């Protein structure tokens, strides 16, 4: 997949400069796109959309375009700290690899996603020479599946935190109950004196309830 298609799929407009060309990809040209928040190891030239980079294995790359800021993704990672280079340049000049770790594919319409996912799966099984009945050695996921997975994880974490909070409240409540029980038992003389001078049962109850509430607030 061309990187020039990649930024369209990811909706990353070039706000300054220009995108890669097919010639850049075919010849493994030393060009790169940069996101706005990425700044280390750069020496800017007079034109704001051009710069020289020597951060990738001491291989100089020329910045030909600036991408718009994307901020955080759904996993909380900053998307504004990575350079984009043609995949041929990365293979030939940086990693030395000959295969892809991942591919992004965009469907013509939402209604064809399932069909295209099945076609990609069949093609990869054929290219990987996977026999009938054997498990795939790759994953093909849609954005909806990734979103549902993230939502499911979030729901599980919410329930888990809720259970932990409930147990903490239960233990704290039992602790306060025991403290107040001991307090009432040890202060029977004070209670008797107060009732002897006119205090009612409700007044005594209110006193201990206020103390319990204050203990809860301070402990919280």
Gap between the Cα atoms of 203 and 79, Å rounded? 62
Domain ranges of the chain: 3-104, 105-140, 144-219
Examine the pLDDT at 42 and tell me if it is beyond 60. Answer: no
**Cβ–Cβ < 8 Å for 14, 8:** no
Question: Which residues pair with residue 78 across a beta bridge?
Answer: 72
C-alpha span between 120 and 106 (Å, rounded): 12
The pTM of the full predicted model, rounded to 2 decimals, is 0.50
pLDDT tens string 54-90:
444 567 778 888 888 777 766 667 777 777 888 888 8
**For residues 15 and 33, what is the distance between their CA atoms, to the nearest angstrom?**
11
């Amino acid at each position: 997949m061309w990187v020039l298609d990649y930024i369209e799929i990811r909706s990353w407009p070039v706000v300054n400069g220009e995108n890669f060309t097919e010639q850049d990809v075919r010849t493994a040209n030393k060009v790169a796109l940069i996101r706005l928040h990425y700044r280390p190891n750069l020496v800017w030239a007079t034109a704001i959309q051009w710069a020289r980079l020597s951060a990738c294995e001491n291989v100089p790359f020329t910045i030909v375009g600036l991408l718009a800021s994307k901020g955080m993704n759904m996993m909380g990672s900053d998307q504004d700290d990575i350079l984009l280079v043609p995949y041929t340049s990365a293979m030939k000049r940086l990693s030395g690899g000959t295969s892809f770790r991942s591919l992004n594919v965009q469907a013509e319409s939402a209604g064809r996603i399932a069909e295209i996912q099945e076609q990609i799966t069949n093609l990869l099984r054929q290219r990987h020479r996977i026999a009938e009945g054997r498990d795939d050695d790759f994953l093909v996921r849609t954005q909806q599946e990734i979103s549902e997975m993230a939502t499911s994880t979030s729901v599980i974490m919410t329930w888990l935190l809720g259970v932990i909070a409930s147990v903490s409240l239960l233990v704290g409540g039992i602790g306060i109950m025991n403290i107040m029980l001991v307090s009432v038992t040890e202060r029977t003389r004070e209670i008797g004196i107060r009732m002897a001078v006119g205090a009612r049962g409700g007044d005594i109850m209110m006193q201990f309830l206020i103390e319990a509430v204050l203990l809860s607030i301070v402990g919280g």
